[in-house]
Amino acid sequence: MALGPVMLDLVGTEITPEEHELLLHPQTGGVILFTRNFESVAQLTELVRAIHALRDPHLLVAVDHEGGRVQRFREGFTRLPPVSRLGEIYRQDRQRARELATESGWLMAAELRAVGIDFSFAPVLDVAHGLSGVIGDRAFHSDPEILADLAHHYMQGMNEAGMAATGKHFPGHGGVKEDSHLALPVDRRPLEDIRQADLVPFERMIHYGLAAIMPAHVIYTQADPELAGFSAFWLQGVLRHELGFQGVIFSDDLSMAAAHVAGSFAQRARKALDAGCDMVLVCNHPDGAREVLDSLEGYDNPVSQVRLARMHGRRPQAWAELHASARWIQAAGAVAAYDESPYLELDV
């Protein structure tokens, strides 16, 4: 059974009978996990194993696990600092910041791979313009070139651990104050300003081999009247053709407040897919998820299926083996030290 174009969520720490049915739907292709799905490392490992056992090829299992405010799993996992700390270190010692970015990306990815999770929606490529509270310290830096440099090393660490990277939120969420989870953000800057700043990290990361991108639920009025995630201008014109991106495009969550302008759940899903998304996320709304799955009956995109298959995780280490390894001890020590004191001298 091929991977479908819809990613769903779960209500708890086990798969319910209703969710079991939805996960077997041919238009389902993945599951995104949240803190409510986690109670222990052992439980999480079993949950992911159960999801993967449902189908072949197995459903993609993803999570938002960036560090700082956005770290879904805590107990047993290494505490990850917000990546803005790396930007602070960069001002003092750019080579050390690069090394720590690699260690951080590897550690995040290696622990998730050890419990079977395929990928995290990371890194954040939004420029820290000082406007967006929802982005804030999730951004590496205010300088697009420094941001891209750090994100590149972070991605290298992820790749080393067997995880593909997903850059977000294209073409940049850092220039608006509103949180798209709660409101409709509108960016009124000239398109050229966005090209000269916010697009730079995405352009650089595509060149470095970025596997996937998630667009922002933001309207950029000087470019297109549609939200970026529903915009053929942004996804096909700029991302695919201008920047030459050939990887996966994931929609942001279709249940977010900003997405409501695109119509019903079925309409949102169709608009996102028609605009160029390969997979759409429907979270925290079971009725919306069923509506989307039913509306896509018969939908088939072989190119998207090939792209999505590349997001399966590689080379997992068992949890105990990982934590006994010299590589983990080194990375965990480095991350803990700069979390406590960003400017502490370390041999990494």
**CA-closest candidate to residue 256, choices 179, 186, 166:** 179
Q: Are 81 and 338 in contact (CB under 8 A)?
A: yes
Q: Which two tokens stand for residue 307?
A: 């792209």
Q: Which two tokens stand for residue 69?
A: 């405010």
**CA-closest candidate to residue 185, choices 139, 216, 214:** 216
Tokens 């891209």 -> residue: 148
Q: Are 149 and 93 in contact (CB under 8 A)?
A: no
Q: How remote is the C-alpha of 47 from its chain's centroid?
A: 20
Q: Is 347 left (phi over 0), alpha (psi -120 to 50) or beta?
A: beta
Q: Are 57 and 112 in contact (CB under 8 A)?
A: no
Helix (H) or strand (E) holding 169: strand 166-170
Q: Are 128 and 174 in contact (CB under 8 A)?
A: yes
Q: Which two tokens stand for residue 124?
A: 């954040």
Q: Are 173 and 132 in contact (CB under 8 A)?
A: yes
Distances (CA, A) of 249 to 20, 37, 143, 277: 26, 25, 25, 5
Beta-carbon count within 10 A of 20 CB: 13
- For residue 302, whether the previous peptide bond is cis, meaning omega lies within 30 degrees of 0, is no
SS3 251: strand
Helix (H) or strand (E) holding 281: strand 279-281
**CA-closest candidate to residue 148, choices 130, 169, 170, 124:** 124
Phi, psi angle pair for 201, to nearest 5° = -60, -35
Residue positions annotated with a catalytic role: 181, 252
